[in-house]
Amino acid sequence: MPRYMLIAVVLTLIGFAVIGKAFYIMTVKKQYWTEVADRLKRDSVSVKPNRGNILSSDGQLMASSIPEYKIFIDFQAAGFENDSLWLDKVDSLCEGLNRIFPSKSAAEFKADLERGRHKEVYNKKTGETTIGSRWWNIWPKRISYNTFVEVKSLPFLNLPKYKGGFCWEEYNSRRRPFGSLAKRTVGGLFGAKDSAYYGLELAYDSILRGTPGINGRRKILNKYMNIPVTLPIDGADIVTTIDVNMQDLAERALVDELNLINGEMGVAILMEVATGDVKAIVNMIRTTDDNGNSQYVEAVNSAISYRCEPGSVFKVASFLVALDDEVVDTSYVISTGSGVREMHGRWMKDHNWRRGGYQDINVARTLEVSSNIGVSHVIDKFYGKNPEKYVKGLYRVGIHEDLKLPLVGYLPPRIRMPHKNKRGQYDNWSKTALPWMSIGYETQIAPINTVTFYNAIANDGKMMRPRFVKKIVKNGETIAEFEPEVIKERIAKPKAIKTMQTILEHVVSQGLGRKAGSPLFKVAGKTGTAQVADQHGSYHSGVTRYWLSFCGYFPADNPRYSCIVCLKKTGLPASGGGMSGVVFHHIAEGVMARNLKVRVDDARDENSIIIPDVKNGNIAAASQVLTALGIKTNNHWDGSYAHGNPIWGTTERRSNEVALKRTKTSEKTIPNVTGMGAKDAVFLLETYGLRVKVHGRGKVKQQSLPAGKIAEKGAECILTLE
């Protein structure tokens, strides 16, 4: 009992000691241990969600996020306390890095890593200097996940994190499977912050980005454990209206023409008439690469942001206003004279003024030949005393409409309205303003507005807002859908629209837009050639710059697509119809060709009989197949051929029959099996006691043992089939 009492007393004292120590820690040491705990936990570690994808109209990936890594090494990790371990592994590590990154030798890797290992690092908090960098770059650029796994498996780096010192930063890198296709429209992410800065990436950033989550981090047994507090919500996918095939077609057609004419810039927009869906949008500008070679890249979304004087494509809007106001009709005759006319002190010229002009032409012919004098004469005569009415008409037909596009950088048109001061005089207007405005000068319009206006004409007057995104999808389910939006139910009276449709069709069939047409379907549209100001804001500082355009729709009798092509070039020759019209032609025919559905049976001549390719060999089998196909055969096969390949005919058959008979005698000559199938050739040769090996497929093209040679039993004959 005294022994048990002693044990009880000791245990009791230990218990009191534990309670006392706990009380001491809870009171006296509370501040110290609270600071230690704070160093071992983080209550709000942000967790990045996965960014949503951008898809084409048919579901193909146009932009997607993939993980990328920047890799470092911590030279103050536990593994570097023993130099022998590092020195033992460093050579094999550097050889492995050289194998993964061949542009840098193993010796260069070793020298670089040694610099990091001996670097002095000053700690501002403690005031101490330590040896070895904590975040030394193994490779300066981001690497893919597969490369990351390879690096992580290298000697020394495959040690536990706090021993080998291998550490990394993970990024969500944005990749476009189709490269630069529709790059400026799809958009991109900027730098290490992965922040969107243009295109659909920026316009729908809040939808694509998702919602970050929160993790609580605790250090347990020398390891950090993440405890989810709020789970991240991945971003949704957006389905665009872009058609990858049409985009590629438009881009190739535009770049080919730019290379041909040495153009500075080019734009092409393809839009679906009924819905306003933008199926293709191309923006090319000429740049110079590192070697001094010129190339065309998508650097600026000029289709929505490049406002300039549109030129003759604007004449359609001018005449549509006049037709809608019923001040003229197609029978109204205009005297253009010899192609030169004075308009309020300035000379207006037609493009053929050196050839004598067009003399007397009606309104329809005026647009067909794009007469500057004809258009400006009509507008000046009927609106000269009331220019406000003309400009209000332009606003009415929709050429001035602010499209309110979701893409950052869109610039709405500038068409100034005449303004009178208190004395009744125009303070922003001159007598020459109206004539020159009517033919596409003194206004600034982006290509997207022009094609939207023409699309409305093709759509019988209904103007649709250009649509870039059809719907938002999350986990395969549609969570939001953007329906086609009508801006104006009617831009002009039905009669005026029908008249303009007929005129635009004649521009291509019998006017200056012939090169945009197609012999396979009808095309309607209008050419445009305008001088544009240079970078100094001048038209006459040396070489003249031209803005060449063609805008129209196809097929004209049942419009499905509208399209605009704009080219900017320096110097002559310059022709909207002959240059931009050619690109339009290629795009239109390419798009329509994709919609053709031709059956294979349609390509077959009903009067012809397709004879299959018949191999040499078993006559009975070949005869049975040909008879079943309804092809008459010659039972003797004398001199018969199918597709130029001799069938085992009389001569061939007899020679082989003779060879078979000789197997019963001492003379065994090897038969000719060229042209036979593998089955017949192997059977025949094996009857001579030969061992046969077959290489390839098809018919026997070559045999290693020549025909006519005495066959030796057990000899090997190799057959080559093709």
Question: Do 549 and 311 form a contact (C-beta atoms < 8 A)?
Answer: yes
Strand partners, 718: 693
Q: Helix, strand or coil for residue 353?
A: helix
Residue 64 has pLDDT above 90, yes or no: no
The upper half-sphere exposure of residue 479, i.e. CA atoms within 13 Å in the direction of its Cβ, equals 10
Q: With helix as H, strand as E and coil as C, how does 481-524 read?
A: ECCCCEEECCCCCHHHHHHHHHHHHHHHHHCCCHHHCCCCCCCE
**What pLDDT is stored for residue 597 in this prediction?**
53
Q: With helix as H, strand as E and coil as C, how does 383-437 read?
A: HCCCHHHHHHHHHHHCCCCCCCCCCCCCCCCECCCCCECCCCCECCCCCCHHHHH
**What pLDDT is stored for residue 645 in this prediction?**
38
Which is more confidently placed, 698 or 693? 693
**What pLDDT is stored for residue 649 in this prediction?**
43
**Cβ atoms < 10 Å from Cβ of 130:** 14
Find all residues with CB under 8 Å of 184, minimum gap 6, and list them: 198, 199, 283, 298, 299, 300, 301
The token pair at 715 is 């000899």
Q: Helix, strand or coil for residue 646?
A: strand
278-299 per-position pLDDT tens digit: 999 999 999 988 787 889 998 8
CA distances from 44 to 226, 228, 229, 467 (A): 10, 10, 8, 40
Find all residues with CB under 8 Å of 189, minimum gap 6, and list them: 174, 195, 196, 197, 201
Strand ranges (DSSP E) for 212-365? 213-220, 223-230, 237-240, 265-272, 278-288, 294-297, 333-335, 340-343, 346-349, 360-362
356 burial (CB, 10 Å; 0-12 / 13-18 / 19+) is exposed
Confidence of residue 654 (pLDDT cuts 50, 70, 90): very low
Question: Do 323 and 499 form a contact (C-beta atoms < 8 A)?
Answer: yes
Helical segments of 101-198, H only: 106-117, 145-152, 161-164, 183-186
Separation between Cα atoms, residue 318 and residue 324, nearest integer Å:
10
- Give the residue-averaged pLDDT of 349-372: 91
Q: With helix as H, strand as E and coil as C, how does 464-477 read?
A: ECCECEEEEEECCE
Question: Do 525 and 584 form a contact (C-beta atoms < 8 A)?
Answer: yes
**What pLDDT is stored for residue 612 in this prediction?**
65
**Cβ atoms < 10 Å from Cβ of 273:** 22
Angle at 456 between CA 452 and CA 461, to 5 degrees: 155
Separation between Cα atoms, residue 556 and residue 454, nearest integer Å:
12
Angle formed by the axes of helices 83-100 and 106-117, to 10°? 140
Separation between Cα atoms, residue 654 and residue 638, nearest integer Å:
11
**What pLDDT is stored for residue 455 in this prediction?**
97
Which is more confidently placed, 412 or 424? 412
Residue 318 has pLDDT above 70, yes or no: yes
Angle at 59 between CA 454 and CA 297, to 5 degrees: 60
The token pair at 651 is 């001569």
Q: What is the CA radius of gyration of the chain?
A: 40
Question: Do 387 and 430 form a contact (C-beta atoms < 8 A)?
Answer: no
- Give the residue-averaged pLDDT of 169-177: 80
Residue 479 has pLDDT above 50, yes or no: yes
- Give the residue-averaged pLDDT of 258-264: 92
Helical segments of 214-354, H only: 244-261, 302-305, 315-324
**What pLDDT is stored for residue 239 in this prediction?**
95
CA distances from 385 to 163, 272, 325, 329, 388 (A): 88, 39, 15, 20, 9
Edge-to-edge order in the sheet of strand 213-220: 41-47, 213-220, 223-230
538-554 per-position pLDDT tens digit: 444 557 889 999 999 99
Separation between Cα atoms, residue 425 and residue 283, nearest integer Å:
43
192-246 per-position pLDDT tens digit: 556 787 889 999 988 998 888 887 766 665 566 777 778 888 889 999 999 999 9
The token pair at 575 is 């022709």
Structure-derived torsion over alpha carbons of residues 418, 424, 425, 430, reported in degrees to the nearest 10: 40
| Global pTM value | 0.71
Find all residues with CB under 8 Å of 69, minimum gap 6, and list them: 142, 143, 144, 145, 148, 168, 169, 170, 171
**What pLDDT is stored for residue 483 in this prediction?**
94
End-to-end CA gap in the chain: 103
Can you list the pairs that 8-12 forms with residues at least 24 positions away whose Cβ atoms lie under 8 Å?
none
641-650 per-position pLDDT tens digit: 333 333 344 4
Question: For the residues of 53-88, what is the DSSP string, one character each?
Answer: PEE-TTS-EEEEEEEEEEEEE-TTSGGGGSHHHHHH
The token pair at 710 is 């005495």
Q: Is the peptide bond before 612 cis (omega within 30 degrees of 0)?
A: no
Of 531, 523, 534, nearest in space to 548 by CA: 531
Find all residues with CB under 8 Å of 291, minimum gap 6, and list them: none
The upper half-sphere exposure of residue 98, i.e. CA atoms within 13 Å in the direction of its Cβ, equals 16
**Cβ atoms < 10 Å from Cβ of 417:** 13
**What pLDDT is stored for residue 635 in this prediction?**
52
Q: Helix, strand or coil for residue 565?
A: strand
Residue 273 has pLDDT above 90, yes or no: yes
33-54 per-position pLDDT tens digit: 776 666 555 566 777 888 889 9
Question: Do 699 and 675 form a contact (C-beta atoms < 8 A)?
Answer: yes
**What pLDDT is stored for residue 316 in this prediction?**
96
**What pLDDT is stored for residue 83 in this prediction?**
75
Length of the chain measured in residues: 722
**What pLDDT is stored for residue 30 in this prediction?**
78
**Cβ atoms < 10 Å from Cβ of 137:** 14
Residue 570 has pLDDT above 50, yes or no: yes
